[in-house]
A and B are shown apart, each in its own frame.
Chain A
């Protein structure tokens, strides 16, 4: 038996003496099981990745993408976006740094779209909680949305909507010392990564688990099927709209997605909500406002909105 489930059984039914089948028991069980499972997995994943240090620094991505043809740069940008760590604080320096290196605006936006949606932590967690098939769907559609969004912005030629001062910034060259090389150094680096990343992510993850637990325990299946089921054609756009003010990283969304799928909400609607929460957020929009003008922000949001709605309808149709 799954050890996380066994501990959750022990806490909910034995220690707290809750009755099977009640909403509170279900919610507590979900909360305990998911908290243990996600935090343990998160720590292991970050540690293992830290040892191999596969994550690319944005400074290197900038060098890789600068001065390349679009045929190379677009796929490279979404691919590198998926393996480069990113927080919405870095979106402004990233944006300026890419443009300054001669990376086209569309390619830069493709990177900014793909990077928050897909990262190795979210991918491994998704695979262990929701299965390989859902994970592949999420990654493939996330990459496609990044690619499509970037290409559309490129074709529209919106460079005039970038704030003028951005084009005037000149970046210096920097040569940093190489990272950890010996095994003890690598282990120490990995351990610091665990502390730093788990320290930064835990409020989002815990918040996501709490929402997932409440959905799991207290929201009736019929209610969700009626309002968010495949019979309601507005469910997908509403899910995407709901995701814009909600801000979390891809890791924190996983328990919410798990609870919604468990309640019978269609796959496409859940994918659309997840992508919207991870990639479209008010804090990031406010950040980007410092470097791009309102019409480009509006275009960026509109393109992503349309893409997520399309993803939602497509997968609802494929999986119904």
Chain B
């Protein structure tokens, strides 16, 4: 099971990314836990300054802007 965190403060983009990952995981039947991190100290702790950011099993895989559906698929498959 992958532990996925979406990092983000105020933009609506972060919710969109949450939904994209959730939909993709359901479509692929991948087991994930999805969590949104809004605490600024925690976000900065990952070294991310531009949101939305995506963290999988403790590793930052994306920062700033919307990830592509293809990228999400790859994260879930790896």
Contact = CB atoms under 8 A, between A and B. Distances in A.
A171 interface: yes
Contacts of A139: none
B51 A89 contact: yes
A97 B44 contact: yes
Contacts of B45: 169-172
A2 interface: no
Contact of B64 (A57, A168, A170, A188): A57
A172 B64 contact: no
Contacts of B66: 192, 196
B47 A174 contact: yes
Contacts of B61: 176-177
B9 A92 contact: yes
Given A176-B62, A176-B63, A93 B47 contact: no
Query: Which of B9, B40, B60, B62: most chain A Cβ within 10 A?
Result: B40
A174 B44 contact: no
Given A57-B64, A171-B44, A176-B60, A93 B11 contact: no
A109 to B, nearest CB: 16
* Chain A interface residue bracket vs B: 20 to 34
Contacts of B43: 93
A126 interface: no
* Chain B interface residue bracket vs A: 20 to 34
Contacts, number: 71
Interface string A170-190: 111110110000000000100
Chain B contact residues: over half helix, strand or loop, or mixed? loop
Contact of B47 (A90, A172, A290): A172
Contact of B44 (A57, A87, A93, A177): A93
Contacts of B47: 59, 171-174
B49 A59 contact: yes
Contacts of B60: 174, 176
Interface in B16-52: 40-41, 43-51
Those 10 A-B pairs whose CB atoms lie nearest each other, nearest first: A174-B47, A172-B47, A97-B49, A58-B49, A93-B49, A89-B11, A174-B60, A89-B10, A169-B41, A171-B44
18 contacts: A57-B63, A58-B49, A58-B64, A59-B50, A87-B11, A89-B11, A90-B49, A90-B50, A92-B40, A93-B40, A93-B48, A93-B50, A93-B51, A94-B49, A97-B49, A169-B44, A172-B46, A174-B46
Interface of B: 9-11, 40-41, 43-51, 60-66, 68
